[in-house]
Structure 1
Amino acid sequence: MYKATATAEAAAPAAAIEAGDSGPVDTPMSHNQIMRALSGLLLALLVAILSSTIVSNALPTILADLNGSQSEYTWVVTAMLLTACATTPIWGKLSDLFSKKLLYQLAIVIFTVGSVLGGIAQSMPELIAFRALQGIGMGGLQALIQVVIAAMIPPRDRGRYSGYIGATFAVATVSGPILGGIIVDSPLGWRWCFWVSVPLAIAAFIVLGRTLHLPVVRRKVKIDWLGAKLLVGGVALLLIWISLAGKSFDWVSATSMLYIGGAVAALALAVLVESRVSEPVVPLRLFRSRTFALSVLGTLAVGTAMFGGAVFLGQYYQIARGYSPTHAGLMTLPMVLGLFLSSTIAGQIISRTGRTKPFLVGGAVVLLLGLGLLSTVDHTTDLTLMGGYLALMGIGVGSLMQNLVLVVQNTVSMRDMGSASSVVTFFRTLGGSAGVSALGAVLATQVASRITDSLARMGISSQGATTGGGGTLDVESLPAPVQEIVRAAYGDATGTIFLIAACVALVTLVAVVFIRETPLRTTLDTAE
C-alpha cells in the first residue's frame, strides 16, 4: 500500500533511516497493520480523554471533600489544560527529530504517574499540581496521535481513520462522566476516578510496543530550548492571568498589566528566537499559508466548546438541577452522540470525495447554532430541549475537530508534520484552557452577584453563603432556602458562559468560510 521508506526519505533526504524501530523499513503497511497500530494509539488517547472527563462529574464531590472553592474548581481543570497546551508544540517538534513511538510511550508514562499521584492528593494545591503533571503527558498523547497517523496514512484515506479518533473522543466523553459518577456514588470514593485509568494506560503501553512500527529518521538535532521556554512561559503567564483576574485582582489593575506585559514580552522574544534558529519549535513559515493560519484560528472555538462544555455542564446538572454525578453524566449523552455520528460519517464521506470544506462550514454553522441556543438556558430550562441543543453542539465539534487538523496536514510536508499538527492541537487546547479559565471567572462572578442580590432582597447577609470566588461548593451543607438561591444562581448564570462561547464560534465560522479548499493528496508526502 504505502511505504514508510518513502515518507522518511522525502522528509529528510540526507538522513540515515534506522530500522531498529520498525524492522524492514520497506515493508508496505496494509490496512490490518494500520488498524493494529491504531488500536494502541486509540487506547492511549482513550485513557487521556477518559481521565479528563471522568473527573468532571466528580469535581463537586472532590472539592467538597477537600474544602475547595469555585476558583480551585476551575484550576483543577485549567492546570491540566495549561501544561497540555504549553507542551504540545514541544512534543510535536520532538516527533520530527526522534522516535515517535518512544515519545508516545513516554507521554503515557508521564500521564500514568500523574494519575496515580492525583489519587493520593490530600489537599487542593497537591491535586492541582498532579493534574498539571497529567497535562504534560496529555499534551504528548493529543499531539503525537495526529503525527503518527500522518506518518502511516495519506490525507485522502485519513478521513476513514479520523472517524475512529472521533469515536474514541465520543466513547471517552460519554463513559467518563458516567463512570466517574458511578465511582463517586459507590464505596470506592472519588480517588478511584484517577486510579481506574492506570490499567488501561499500561495496556496501551504494551500494545504500542508490539504494534507500532515506524522508521526512525536520524538527522542533525538542535533543539530550540530557549524558544520552548519562552513559549511555555508566555502561554503560562497568559492563562494564569485569565484564571486569576476578576477574583484575586481586578481585570484592569497593575497586577493585570504585569501579567500581560510579561506574557507579551515572553511571546515576542519567542517569535524573535523562532525566526532565527535552524530547528524552531513552531516554524513561523507555516503561518504564511492562508489555509494553515485560518485553520489555527478556527480551532480556538472548538477547544472552548469541547472543554468548556464538558466542565460546566457537569456543574450545571449537579448544582443547578440537583442531579447525582451518574445522572449528570447521562444527561450529556446527546452531545456525545452528535460528536460520534458527525465525526464518523464526515470521515467516511471525505475519504470518498476528497472534500473537506462543506463539513467545516456546516460544522461551524451548527456549532454556532447550538451554542446560541444553549445561551438561553437557566435553572428551569426543559431538559429535552437542552438535550437537542447539546446534540447540535456535538455535531458541530465532531465536524470540525479532526477535519481542521486534516486540512493542515494536507498542505505540509512530512518534515514539518509534527510541528504543524501540534500547533493546531496547541491552539485548540489554548482555546479550551483560556475558555475554561475565562468562563469560570465569569461564572463565579455571575453566581456571586446573583446570590448576593437574592439574599439582600430577603434581608440576609451573603457572607458564607456565596459560592463565588472563595466560597464553598458544598451546596448540601447550606440551609434549604439558601440552597434554592444558589441552585438558581448557577442555572441562570450558565447561559451567559455559553453566550460568550457562541461569540468565539462566530470567529471560527468566518475563518473556515475563507479557507481555500485543496484536494486531498493520495501520497504521504508532498515530495511524492
Structure 2
Amino acid sequence: MTGPQALLSQEDVTRVVLGLLLAIFLAAIDQTIVAVALVSIADELGGLDLLPWIVSGYLVSSAIATPVYGKLSDLYGRRRLLSVAIAVYLCGSILCAFAQSMPQLVAFRVLQGLGGGGLLALSQATIADIAPGPERGRYQGYLAGMFAIAAVAGPVLGGYLSWYISWRAIFWFTVPIAVSAFLISRRALALLPVPGQRRPIDYAGALLLGIGLAAILIALTRIGQGHGWTASSTLMLVGTGALALFGCALRERVAPEPMLPPELFVNRRVLLCCVLYVLVFFLLVGHSVLLPIWMQALGGAGANDVALRMLPLTLGVPAGAYSSGRLVLRLERCRPIIVAGALLAIAGSILLALVAIDSLFATAFVMLVLGFGMGLTMPASIVELQAAVAPRQVGIATAVGALFRTLGGAIGIAILTSMLFARVRSTMGIVPGEPIGPLHEVAAETLSSGFELAFV
C-alpha cells in the first residue's frame, strides 16, 4: 500500500489506535487471566492432566496463527483479517463460558487462541500503515504498554471475577470488549486501501510450521504430566516437530512468497531480538501464571488476596515499558536499555526462588523488579527490530517478532508448569484427574521445592 497515512486525519488515527488497544488488551489478557481460576476449574471440571493446556492450548494455537494472519493481511488487507481474528476470538470466548468438561474447555481455548494470534500481529502491523516512521515508536509504545498492563493484570481481574462470581465470568468479561474492538476497528480501518496485488499463499510452509510448533509444545506439556523425556511418545513428538520445522525451513528457501522469509533469520539484530522475545515472554507469561498458584498453594491466599499481591508485577511492567520509551528518545540507543531490562528480569526471577512466601514486602519488591525489567525491554526491542530491516520488511519482521513473543509465552507455560506438576507427581503419586485443590494441604514441602525449581 502506498501512503495510506495521507488518507487518515488525526481523529481517524486516534480511533484506529483505540480499536487496536482493545485488540491488544484481549490478546494479552487471555494469556494470563485464567491463572487464578485454575484451582476452581479443576475442582469443578476435573481433568488435572489437561490443566496446563487451559493456558498452553491458547498460546500454542495463537503462536501457530500469528504468521498466517500476518501474511494474509498483506494479501487481503488488515481490516478484513482483523475482523476475522476478533470474530473467531469472540466465538471462542462464548464457548469457553459454556464448557461442561475439561476437554471441551481446552478445545474452545484453542479456538480462542486462533483468533488471539491475529490480534497481536495485526495490531502492530497496522501501526506501520497509519503512522509515518518517526511516529511509529510512539504508537508502538502505547501498544506495548497496553500489552504489559493486560498481561499482568490478567491474574488480578481473574482473581476478583472467579472469587466473587465464577470462573466462567472470566470469559464473559472479554465478550463486550471484543464486540467493541470489532465495531471500532471495522469503522476506523475502512479508509485504508486494500492491496491490489494478489500473490500465492505458502500453504505448505504454514502447515509445516504449525505441525512443528504443535508437536514440540505438546511434548513439553506431556513431560510435565508424567511422561519421561526419553519416553517413546515424547521422542516421537519431538522428532515429528523437528522434522516439520526442518521441512519448513527448506520450503521457505524456495517458496515464491515464504511465510517466514529466511533472510530475516540471518540478520543478527533480528535474530537477537527474537531470542530476547522468547526469554522475556517466557518469564512474563510463565510467572503471571505460576505466581498466583504459588500464593494460593503455599501462602494460603484466596483469589481476591492474590489479586492484590500481584499488583507490584502489574504496575512494574507498564512502568518499565514507559521508562523504556522515554530512554529510547533520550539516548537514541536501544541495546543498553534491552540489556539492563534483561538483567533485572533474570535477577528478579532468581530472587523469587529465595524469598519466603510469607514475607510480603520482600515478595512485592522482587515482583516489582521483575516486572520493571521485563517492561524495560519491550518498546526498545520493537524499535530495534524494526530498525534492523528495510522499510519493505517492517511488517513481516513485526509479525515474526509477535510470533516469537507468543512462542516464548507458550514455552514458558509448558516448561514451568510441567516442572511443577512433574515434581508433585513424582513425590505424591497424584492420580490423573484428581482435583488440584487439596495439594496445598498435603504437599506443601513438595510444592515449595517445585516452585523453587520452576522460578530458577
Instruction: Give TM class, smaller chain.
Output: over 0.9
The answer as to whether partners of 2:7 and 2:192 remain within 8 angstroms in 1 is: no
Question: Which of 368, 375, 399 is residue 391 of structure 1 equivalent to?
Answer: 368
Partner SS for 1:408: helix
Question: Which of 290, 295, 301 is residue 317 of structure 1 equivalent to?
Answer: 295
Q: Which runs of 4+ in 1 moved over 6 A?
A: none
User: Corresponding residue for 1:252?
Assistant: 230
Question: Which of 126, 129, 134 is residue 148 of structure 1 equivalent to?
Answer: 126
Q: CA deviation at 1:407?
A: 1.5
The answer as to whether partners of 1:377 and 1:495 remain within 8 angstroms in 2 is: no
Q: CA deviation at 1:419?
A: 2.4
Could you tell which deviates more after superposition, 158-167 or 227-236? 158-167
Cα-to-partner distance string for 1:152-199 (whole Å, 9 max, x where unaligned): 23454333223322331343245432332222222x422121112111
> 1:40-439 to 2 correspondence within 5 Å?
40-69=19-48, 71-186=49-164, 188-212=165-189, 213-377=191-355, 380-439=357-416
The answer as to whether partners of 1:68 and 1:473 remain within 8 angstroms in 2 is: no
Give the 3 Å change call, closer, same or farther, for CA 402–449 of structure 1 in structure 2.
Answer: same
Partner SS for 2:195: strand
Larger % of helix: which? 2
- Give the Cα separation in 2 of the matches to 1:95 and 1:148: 10
**Paired residue total:** 455
Give the 3 Å change call, closer, same or farther, for CA 175–306 of structure 1 in structure 2.
Answer: closer
Q: CA deviation at 1:101?
A: 1.4
Question: Which of 9, 12, 16 is residue 37 of structure 1 equivalent to?
Answer: 16
Cα-to-partner distance string for 1:137-157 (whole Å, 9 max, x where unaligned): 111011111111122234543
Give the 3 Å change call, closer, same or farther, for CA 489–154 of structure 1 in structure 2.
Answer: farther
Partner SS for 1:5: coil
- Give the Cα separation in 1 of the matches to 2:432 and 2:339: 38
Name the aligned partner's letter for residue 437 of structure 2: D
The answer as to whether partners of 2:226 and 2:425 remain within 8 angstroms in 1 is: no
Identity percentage over the alignment?
35
Instruction: Check if 1:489 corresponds to 2:446.
Output: yes
Q: CA deviation at 1:28?
A: 5.7
User: Corresponding residue for 1:5?
Assistant: 2
Name the aligned partner's letter for residue 405 of structure 1: I
- Give the Cα separation in 2 of the matches to 1:413 and 1:280: 17
Cα-to-partner distance string for 1:216-256 (whole Å, 9 max, x where unaligned): 22213200001100110011111111110253521113222
The answer as to whether partners of 2:295 and 2:306 remain within 8 angstroms in 1 is: yes
Q: CA deviation at 1:302?
A: 1.1
The answer as to whether partners of 1:95 and 1:418 remain within 8 angstroms in 2 is: no
> Rg larger in 1 or in 2?
1
Give the 3 Å change call, closer, same or farther, for CA 96–53 of structure 1 in structure 2.
Answer: same
Could you tell which deviates more after superposition, 174-183 or 328-337? 174-183
Name the aligned partner's letter for residue 19 of structure 2: G
User: Corresponding residue for 1:506?
Assistant: none
Name the aligned partner's letter for residue 386 of structure 1: T
Q: CA deviation at 1:353?
A: 4.4
Give the 3 Å change call, closer, same or farther, for CA 127–155 of structure 1 in structure 2.
Answer: same
Partner SS for 1:27: helix
- Give the Cα separation in 1 of the matches to 2:179 and 2:203: 30
Partner SS for 1:42: helix
- Give the Cα separation in 2 of the matches to 1:235 and 1:102: 26
Cα-to-partner distance string for 1:448-490 (whole Å, 9 max, x where unaligned): 345x4xxxxxxxxxx6xx4x86532022xx7xxxx54423432
User: Corresponding residue for 2:425?
Assistant: 448
- Give the Cα separation in 1 of the matches to 2:8 and 2:323: 24
The answer as to whether partners of 1:377 and 1:492 remain within 8 angstroms in 2 is: no
